[in-house]
Structure 1
Amino acid sequence: MTTPCVIFMQMYFYEKKFTLRVKLTLIPITLGVITNFYYDIYFNYLGTFYAALGVVITSLYQVWISQKQHELQMDAMQLLYYQAPVSAALLLLIIPIFEPPPASWPRTWTLMEMFMVLASGCIAFFVNLSIYWIIGNTSPLTYNMVGHLKFCLTLLGAFLLFEDPLHFNQIVGITLTVAGVTIYAHVKLKEQSEKTSKTLEEGEKERLMS
Structure 2
Amino acid sequence: MEAEKKKPLVSDVGAWAMNVVSSVGLIMANKQLMSNGGYGFAFATTLTGFHFTVTALVGWISNATGLSVSKHVPLWELLWFSIVANMSITGMNLSLMLNSVGFYQISKLSIIPVVCLMEFFLHSKHYSSRVIMAVIAVALGVGICTVTDVEVKVKGLICACVAVFCTSLQQITIGSLQKKYEIGSFELLSKTAPIQAISLLLFGPFADYYLNGHSLLKYHYSVGATAFILLSCILAFFCNTSQYLCIGRFSATSFQVLGHMKTVCVLILGWLLFDSALTLKNILGMLLAVLGMLVYSWAVEHDKKVKMALDIRTGSNSEREDAKLLAKENGTSKPDIELARSES
The TM-score bracket by the shorter chain reads: 0.7 to 0.9
Tell me which residue corresponds to 1:177. Answer: 289
Query: Is the 2:111–2:164 contact (alpha carbons within 8 Å) kept by the matching residues of 1?
Result: yes
Q: Is the 8 A contact 2:135 2:257 kept in 1?
A: no
- Secondary structure (helix, strand or coil) at the match of 2:151 reads coil
Shift of 1:85: 0.6
Corresponding residue pairs, total: 207
User: Which stretch shifts more, 71-80 or 33-42?
Assistant: 33-42
Between 55-64 and 157-166, report the one with greater CA deviation: 157-166
Aligned partners of 1:154 and 1:113: how far apart in 2? 22
Q: Does 1:20 align with 2:103?
A: no
How far has the Cα of 1:134 moved from its partner?
Answer: 0.4
Q: Are residues 40 and 199 of structure 1, via their aligned partners in 2, closer, same or farther at CA, if it must alter by over 3 Å?
A: same
Please point out which of 175, 180, 185 is paired with 1:66.
Answer: 175
For the residues of structure 1 that align with 2:238 and 2:147, how far apart are their CA atoms? 32
Residue 261 of structure 2 corresponds to 149
- What is the Cα deviation at residue 101 of structure 1? 4.2
- Given that 2:142 and 2:263 are in contact with CA atoms closer than 8 Å, whether structure 1 keeps it comes out as no
Q: CA deviation at 1:56?
A: 1.4
Report whether the alignment pairs 1:102 with 2:214: no
Match of 2:142 among 33, 58, 80: 33
| One of 187, 190, 204 as aligned partner of 1:81 | 190
Cα distance in 2 between the residues matched to 1:174 and 1:135: 24
Whole-angstrom CA distance in 2 between matches of 1:22 and 1:122: 35
Residue number in structure 1 paired with 2:12: none
Aligned equivalent of 2:245: 133
For the pair 1:120 / 2:229, whether they are aligned, the reply is no
Distance 1:180 1:53 in 2: 27
CA-to-partner distance for each residue in 1:20-48, whole Å, 9 max, x for gaps? 32222222122222222332433333333
Alignment-derived partner of residue 190 in structure 1: 302
Percent identical across equivalent pairs? 27
Distance apart, 1:157 and its partner CA = 3.2
Which structure is higher in RCO with an 8 Å CA cutoff and minimum separation 6? 1
Residue identity matched to 2:287: T
Go from structure 1 to structure 2 and tell me whether the alpha carbon gap of 1:101 and 1:28 turns closer, same or farther (over 3 Å shift). closer
Counterpart Cα distance in 2 of 1:81 and 1:193: 35
User: Which letter maps to 1:120?
Assistant: S
Opposite residue 182 of structure 1, the aligned amino acid is L
The structural deviation recorded for 1:64 is: 0.9
Measured in 1, the distance between the counterparts of 2:231 and 2:268 equals 26
What displacement does 1:113 show?
Answer: 4.5
Structure 2 portions without partners, runs of 5+: 1-109, 210-214, 324-344
The alpha carbon displacement at 1:197 in A equals 2.7
| Amino acid in the other structure paired with 1:158 | G
Distance (Å, rounded) in 1 between the aligned partners of 2:286 and 2:232: 29
Q: Distance in 2 between matches of 1:148 and 1:156?
A: 13
How far 1:161 moved relative to its partner?
5.1
1:206 is displaced (CA, Å) by 5.8
Q: 1:45 to 1:167 in 2, by over 3 A?
A: farther
User: C-alpha displacement at 1:178, in angstroms?
Assistant: 1.2
How many Å apart are 1:142 and its aligned residue?
0.5
Say whether residues 1:10 and 2:119 are aligned partners. Answer: yes
**Cα distance in 1 for residues equivalent to 2:152 and 2:232:** 32
Deviation, 1:198, is 3.0
The aligned amino acid for 1:180 is G
TM-score (norm 1): 0.85
